[in-house]
Amino acid sequence: MVDNHITFKIKDLNFYYGSSLALSQINMDVRARQVTALIGPSGCGKSTFLRCLNRMNDTIPGTRLEGQVILEGTDIYREDQDIAELRQRVGMVFQKPNPFPKSVFDNVAYGPRVLGLVKGKPELVETVEKSLKRAALWDDVKDDLNNDAFSLSLGQQQRLCIARVLAVEAEVILMDEPCSALDPIDTRKIEELIRELRERYTIVIVTHNMQQAARVSDQTGLFWLGEMIEFNPTDKLFTNPDHELTESYITGRMG
């Protein structure tokens, strides 16, 4: 049964790099326990929008946002928002795997330790194991938890980064082209993992691969020059889009 609860409500969002308008009048709902895919040509605003959802753009000088990003009923851009708490709830997986220069175990344990989410070693060990299992990595690493994370393959490193997000009890997982550095076999594993994770988590994925969006997502939005051209159920967007530009893009005539 699909959960129609709304996790994020985006209202009249404009985003600026200095005086340059990068996103214009974005309005959309991100539904709980669904996969929302964002597609569009390079430089159209997909990743900028994704970073608006956990205020990662705040780290870039001169940026400014207008409008509202409402998470579970609360605007995350309010003045008293705890940014650390927000990024705990809304985790991010980047284009290239970015494990810490630590052991496999310590990569996953780092967040729960720092945030004080666990009491004692047994609970920490349990959290690490549970997170690695949910990230479909446990069977690969259970005998090598003390090995350096960089000894893993790229696909395993990316699943380790997903486990790291899960370990801090995230509610939402943002993925910025998580398969672009991976081979087809590892890409398939990540896609299978995304389908499994949506039973527990809300996922928003930026992908340049339209076939991937069609395979893994429930809703898809097409960005074009900083605007949301169309946002619809994935099946509809790819088979019967509302906008001519969407059809031109997905059939390869534009973009």
Tens of pLDDT, residue by residue over 215-225, are 999 999 999 99
Which pLDDT value is given to residue 253? 83
Stretch 210-216: mean pLDDT: 96
- Global pTM reads 0.94
List Cβ neighbours of 63 (8 Å cut-off, separation of 6 or more).
Answer: 15, 16, 17, 18, 57
Report whether pLDDT(3) > 50.
no
What pLDDT score was predicted for residue 4?
61
Residue 131 to residues 153, 164, 219, 237: CA-CA distances in angstroms? 18, 7, 26, 34
Is the per-residue pLDDT at 134 higher than 70?
A: yes
6-250 CATH fold? Rossmann fold (3.40.50)
H helix intervals, the chain: 46-52, 83-89, 104-115, 120-134, 138-141, 154-167, 184-197, 210-216, 234-239, 244-250
Extract the tokens encoding 51. 């970073």
Report the largest interatomic distance among the alpha carbons of the chain, rounded to a whole angstrom.
Answer: 58
3-class DSSP assignment, residue 201 = coil
Please give the Cα distance from 11 to 241 (Å, whole number).
23
Q: Name the residue with tokens 């990595």.
A: 137
**pLDDT tens per residue across span 234-255:** 999 999 999 999 999 999 887 6
> Cα–Cα distance between 82 and 192 in angstroms, integer?
33
Strand pairing category for 63-71 and 35-39: unpaired
Judged against a pLDDT cut of 60, whether residue 111 lies above it is answered with yes
Arithmetic mean of pLDDT over the chain: 95
Q: Is the pLDDT of residue 164 over 50?
A: yes
Give 32-88 pLDDT, tens digit per residue.
999 999 999 999 999 999 999 999 999 999 999 999 999 999 999 999 999 999 999
